[in-house]
Amino acid sequence: MTIRAAADGSALGNPGPAGWAWYVDDSCWAAGGWKHATNNQAELTAVLQFFRATAHLDDELLILCDSQYVINCVTKWMPGWKRKGWRKADGKPVMNVELLQEIDAELPGRRYRFEWVKGHANHPLNEAADSRARAVSEAYQRGTAIPAGPGFVRPGERAVTRPSDTRLAPAEAPEVPPPAVLFDFDEPAATETVDVVVTLSAAEFDRLSARARTRGVRPEQVLRDLI
């Protein structure tokens, strides 16, 4: 199965109040943002958050973007930048390197394609992602509640949302809501632990192991990060 989603960003003033969003359908989307960021940072974050939201899946991803910069970063330029120590051909540091490194860490074992779509051309998925990203940037501008969305939800599944990533602007990071409860039992006290058994397919385990090797951590740490 191929999951088709649009990813987009918005920054009022660029830089300024900013929002990101990815959108599959009206019951499956997410958005977030910051008080101050650039449009490119928002666009890259939309892609990063979609990869993270679907990290538990084996499905192929088709990501629709109206940003050639984002598509070229992920599909063309990153391998060369990595070989050069995340520097461009002229030796200057790569812009938005932390975001790009986080995206790169999500790619091992994933099946994905990017497709460019023209922005503001009435493409249904792109318009839906754009309107949600802009709604977040406008909410930060007005100081109102952030429309975060339900997160990734398959038909018949319960929504599991995760707070938006605030590492772009740590000094100005807004308060984020706590993660949704993942289990149907009372959570333990902070000093207690709970053993959870996870059954993975061979393909899922290979993908988990590949991500762990990329990050230089044990596979269980990758699972903890996802939770």
Q: Has 9 been annotated as catalytic?
A: yes
- Model confidence at 170, in pLDDT bands (50, 70, 90)? very low
Least confident piece of the model among 38-42, 146-150, 204-208, 214-218 = 214-218
pLDDT > 80? residue 210: no
Q: Has 43 been annotated as catalytic?
A: yes
Catalytic residue among 102, 106, 130, 165: 130
pLDDT > 60? residue 177: no
Q: Tell me the pairing of strands 16-25 and 60-65.
A: unpaired
pLDDT > 50? residue 222: yes
Catalytic residue among 33, 66, 102, 149: 66
Q: Tell me the pairing of strands 112-116 and 60-65.
A: parallel
Least confident piece of the model among 134-138, 140-144, 179-183, 209-213 = 179-183
Q: Has 59 been annotated as catalytic?
A: no
Residues 6+ apart with CB under 8 A from 167: 98
DSSP line for 132-190: HHHHHHHHHHHT-------BB--TTPPPB--PPP-TTSGGGPPP-PPPPP-SSSPPPPT
Catalytic residue among 85, 91, 120, 216: 120
Q: How far is CA 171 from the centre of its chain?
A: 21
Domain ranges within the chain, ordered by starting residue:
2-157, 182-227
- Model confidence at 220, in pLDDT bands (50, 70, 90)? confident
Predicted pLDDT of residue 193: 54
Catalytic residue among 32, 33, 43, 165: 43
Q: Has 184 been annotated as catalytic?
A: no
How far is the C-alpha of 110 from the C-alpha of 60, rounded, in Å? 7
Helices (H) and strands (E) in the chain, counts: 7, 5
Query: Which CATH number does the domain 2-157 belong to among 3.30.420.10, 3.40.50.720, 3.40.50.10070, 3.10.129.10?
Result: 3.30.420.10
pLDDT > 70? residue 157: no
Q: Has 165 been annotated as catalytic?
A: no
pLDDT > 70? residue 194: no
Q: Has 8 been annotated as catalytic?
A: yes
How far is the C-alpha of 19 from the C-alpha of 12, rounded, in Å? 9
Q: What is the pTM of this model?
A: 0.72
Least confident piece of the model among 84-93, 136-145, 152-161, 177-186 = 177-186
Could you report the per-residue pLDDT of 10-63, keeping only the tens digit for each?
A: 999 999 999 999 999 999 999 999 999 999 999 999 999 999 999 999 999 999
